[in-house]
Structure 1
Amino acid sequence: EIKEFVQSSGEDGFVVLSLGSKVVGRFSGNKPETLGNNTQLFKWIPQNDLLGHPKTKAFITHVGGNGISEAIYHVIPM
């Protein structure tokens, strides 16, 4: 499901969002009606694989050690 969504991003690419444990709230259940078609929610993402994907344009992060290292390795702006 993630692979299909990422591949369908066209030349505009995609942005990875990972906020870690300091987020209040939780997503479970149906996709909110106000969420655009250009957004997908997942309970888990293969973060390093997504950061290494050639269509990744940016990484919005809570600045955890792994995410920083992975973004630097893949030269993705944070």
Structure 2
Amino acid sequence: MQVTIHAAKTNLSKLIELARAGEEVVIAKGKTPVARIVPVTEGGFTIGLLKGELDGEAPDFFEPMPDHELDLWEGKA
């Protein structure tokens, strides 16, 4: 389905529901397509996914680096 910008502003809620239902909704300026309304897919990101899977201690990023490592980062070595 292709609609003009004016029609999209007037019927945005309906167009969003159509997109969520799988309909392709294209917004056009005149006859030129300029945007598409698509549903947002739910991500499968899980916080703490690797908790308990990693061994050892993590570096403390708030501690200052030793001078020899800092020199390497700054290209002085």
* TM bracket (short chain): under 0.3
Higher-Rg structure is 2
TM-score computed with the length of structure 2 as normaliser: 0.24
TM-score computed with the length of structure 1 as normaliser: 0.24
Q: Structure with the greater relative contact order (CA < 8 A, sep ≥ 6): 1 or 2?
A: 1
